[in-house]
């Protein structure tokens, strides 16, 4: 049995960045740049007014003073006239500041006279006031987004501003999902008293779809080697194949055997983890196979711990792990030790810090407890006891927030 940290290290070593591809900017959200992006423009591209008002020469303004208005400049208009002493141009937010002017006075600090031919300035100003200088945000040629950046809405705006209608990003892995178990029935059916609805295929697909689009539920199979083998063979067309169930010690836990028969190289098959001990990870060629334990909470936790970071690495993310929050424990916890535990927990912000308490749950089969949780409280292997008031680590899992 290996530790969670060792298991994650192996998974991240085997999950390799996928090749770059070009996508339309509109399709790039959530992907990672496989190219560094330089600005093809100065930003702002011209001295830009930050206010609606009047473009003036700052040293002319000894209020109250009256200036001649020589032009009206709206955004998208190229000013024709240079401001001379005693002159001003009316200007709108986002418009080009005309030559000669070195400040913009807000319209609220002025009074238009003679049907806008003149303006009285009521307040002093300083050189540069209300002007965004050409190139002050970004100079032409500067790298605005380095390779590896995850594209969020903000980055999309930048990419659009520098004219990238197509961007080179890392490809995302295709993911196939198989559930195993004689007891499983389709979710549309009412199970017989000895049967269970196949919820794992759907929860796994939902977890996977939080980060990639190409996710397919390949179906469920009975605990029969030939059936499992057939569907796994189909699933091996995907970059990542995820199975659930059939990995513990029972007579019908056949997934490991079938994987070996198919020539899958197994890197680990047990992790010192609760829930999620019988987690299997292997490869066939460049395909990654995760066979996760069937208990729904174990399936959820092991996907978050191993599959999600691996997918992120393949997609070119530079950091793959979940955020950890340090929180004060509200109630003492009894623990079982030996394996690292990840317990469904509820984090609450109190004052300037966080408090956390375990949610009531009945073990790794109890999926319902997860809906009352927004994180997983980590109990490290070495911890002997946890008392109320102790500081603990809580992993934020995207799907729980
Ligand atoms: N003798 C031992 N028995 C078990 C061990 C062990 O070390 N020695 N480990 C236990 C642990 S820990 C776990 S976790 C489970 C994992 O078992 P499997 O991965 O083989 O899963 P199954 O036996 O197929 O199912 C477990 C449980 O989960 C339900 N399940 C399975 N698939 C689904 C699905 N798609 N949707 C909803 N629920 C599902 C299934 O009905 C079972 O109740 O093994 C322990 N045993
Ligand atoms: O590892 Mo099992 O997932 O503890 O229930």
Does the structure show a pLDDT above 80 at 337?
Answer: no
- What is the Å distance from ligand 2's center to 298 Cα? 6
Q: Whose CA is nearest to atom 33 of ligand 1?
A: 294
Distance CA 396, CA 401 (A): 7
Using the predicted structure, report yes or no on whether residue 326 has a pLDDT greater than 90.
Answer: yes
**Is 53:130 a contact under the CB 8 Å cutoff?**
yes
Note the pTM of the prediction, 2 decimals: 0.89
* Pairwise pLDDT comparison (383 vs 279), residue with the higher score: 279
Confidence of residue 370 (pLDDT cuts 50, 70, 90): confident
Cβ of 49 less than 6 Å from ligand 2 = no
67, 87 in Cβ contact below 8 A?
yes
Q: Is 199 in the pocket of ligand 1 (CB under 6 A)?
A: yes
Q: Is residue 379 over pLDDT 80?
A: yes
Q: Which two tokens stand for residue 120?
A: 């009285």
Return phi, psi of residue 29, to 5°: -60, 135
CA of 75 to the centre of ligand 2 (A): 63
pLDDT over 70 percentage in the chain: 99
Average pLDDT, the chain: 94
| 149 within ligand 1 shell (Cβ under 6 A) | no
Residue nearest to atom 45 of ligand 1 (CA): 248
CA distance 170 to 76: 37
Tell me, using a 6 A CB cutoff, whether residue 339 lines ligand 1. Answer: no
Mean pLDDT of the region 375-380: 94
- The bound ligand whose nearest atom lies closest to the alpha carbon of 1 is 1
User: Is the shortest distance between the CB of 343 and ligand 2 below 6 Å?
Assistant: no
Best CA proximity match to 167, nearest among 178, 155, 179, 175? 155
Tokens (6 digits) for 40: 């093809």
State the distance from the centre of ligand 1 to the C-alpha of 276, rounded, in angstroms: 9
Rounded CA-CA distance 392/150 in Å is 29
Whole-angstrom Cα distance, residue 170 to residue 18? 6
Q: How many whole angstroms separate alpha carbon 276 and alpha carbon 74?
A: 63
CB 200 within 8 A of CB 157: no
- Which ligand lies nearest the alpha carbon of 301? 2
158 touches ligand 1 (CB under 6 Å): no
Domains and CATH numbers, the chain: 4-17+172-314 (3.40.980.10), 20-43+142-170 (3.90.105.10), 48-132 (2.170.190.11), 324-396 (2.40.340.10)
Which ligand minimizes its atom distance to the CA of 295?
A: 1
Show Cβ contacts of residue 375 under 8 Å, excluding neighbours closer than 6 positions.
325, 345, 346, 347, 356, 394, 395, 396, 397, 400
DSSP line for 361-394 = --STT-GGGGGG-SEEEEE-TT---B-TT-EEEE
Q: Nearest C-alpha to atom 27 of ligand 1 is from which residue?
A: 295
Distance in Å, CA 233 to ligand 1 centroid: 23
State the greatest distance between any 2 C-alpha atoms of the chain, in Å, as a whole number. 96
Q: Classify burial at 193, counting beta carbons within 10 Å of its beta carbon; exposed 0-12, middle 13-18, buried 19 or more.
A: exposed
Each residue's pLDDT tens digit, 111-169: 999 999 999 999 999 999 999 999 999 999 999 999 999 999 999 999 999 999 999 99
Say which ligand is closest to the CA of 187: 1
Please tell me the residue having the least CA distance from ligand 1 atom 25: 294
- 17-55 tens-digit pLDDT: 999 999 999 999 999 999 999 999 999 999 999 999 999
Token pair belonging to 295? 């208990």
- Pick the more confident residue, 385 or 94: 94
Alpha helices in 104-198 (DSSP H): 153-161
CA 183 to ligand 1: nearest atom: 41
Spacing, Cα 114 to ligand 1 middle (Å): 86
Q: From the CA of 364, how far away is ligand 2's center (Å)?
A: 6
227 C-alpha vs ligand 1 centroid, how far in Å?
19
Confidence of residue 199 (pLDDT cuts 50, 70, 90): very high
The tokens describing 174, both together, are 């295709």
> Which pLDDT band, with edges at 50, 70 and 90, does 335 fall under?
confident
Phi/psi of residue 201, each to 5°? -55, -40
Q: Token pair 């986002």 is at which residue?
A: 94
Q: Cβ contacts of residue 6 below 8 Å, gap of 6+?
A: 268
For a pLDDT cut of 90, what percent of the chain falls above it?
87
In angstroms, what is the span from residue 273 Cα to ligand 2's centroid?
8
86 three-state secondary structure: coil
| pLDDT band per the 50, 70, 90 thresholds, residue 397 | confident
* Residue 249 CB less than 6 A away from ligand 1: yes
Question: What pLDDT score was predicted for residue 269?
Answer: 94
């Amino acid at each position: 049995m290996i530790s969670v940290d060792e298991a994650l290290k192996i998974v991240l070593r085997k999950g390799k960045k996928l090749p770059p591809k070009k996508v339309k900017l509109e399709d790039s959200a959530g992907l990672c740049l496989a190219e560094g992006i330089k600005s093809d423009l100065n930003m702002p591209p011209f001295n830009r007014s930050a206010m609606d008002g009047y473009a003036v020469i700052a040293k002319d303004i000894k209020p109250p003073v009256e200036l001649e208005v020589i032009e009206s400049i709206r955004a998208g208009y190229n000013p024709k006239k240079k401001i001379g002493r005693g002159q001003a141009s009316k200007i709108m937010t986002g418009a080009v500041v005309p030559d000669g002017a070195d400040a913009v006075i807000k319209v609220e600090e002025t009074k238009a006279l003679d049907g806008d031919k003149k303006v009285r300035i009521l307040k002093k100003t300083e050189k540069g006031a209300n002007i965004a200088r050409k190139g002050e945000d970004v100079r032409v040629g500067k790298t605005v987004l380095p390779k590896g950046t995850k594209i969020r809405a903000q980055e999309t705006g930048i990419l659009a501003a520098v004219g990238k209608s197509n961007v080179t990003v890392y490809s995302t892995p295709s993911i196939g999902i198989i559930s195993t178990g004689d007891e499983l029935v389709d979710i549309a059916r009412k199970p017989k008293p000895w049967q269970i609805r196949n919820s794992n295929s759907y929860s796994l697909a939902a977890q996977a779809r939080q980060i990639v689009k190409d996710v397919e539920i390949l179906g469920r199979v009975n605990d029969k080697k030939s059936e499992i083998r057939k569907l796994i063979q189909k699933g091996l067309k995907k970059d990542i194949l995820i199975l659930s169930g059939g990995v513990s010690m029972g007579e019908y836990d056949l997934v490991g055997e079938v994987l070996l028969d198919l020539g899958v190289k197994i890197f680990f098959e047990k992790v010192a983890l609760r829930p999620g001990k019988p987690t299997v990870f292997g490869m066939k060629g460049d395909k990654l196979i995760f066979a996760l334990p069937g208990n729904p909470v174990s399936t959820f936790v092991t996907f978050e711990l191993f599959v999600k970071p691996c997918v992120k690495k393949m997609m070119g993310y530079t950091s793959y792990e979940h955020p950890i929050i340090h929180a004060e424990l509200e109630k003492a916890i009894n623990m079982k030790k030996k394996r690292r535990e990840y317990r469904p927990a509820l984090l609450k912000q109190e004052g300037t810090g966080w408090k956390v308490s375990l949610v009531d749950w009945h073990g790794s089969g109890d999926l319902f407890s997860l809906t009352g949780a927004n994180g997983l409280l980590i109990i490290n292997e070495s911890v002997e006891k946890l008392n109320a008031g102790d500081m603990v680590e809580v992993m934020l899992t995207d799907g729980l927030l």
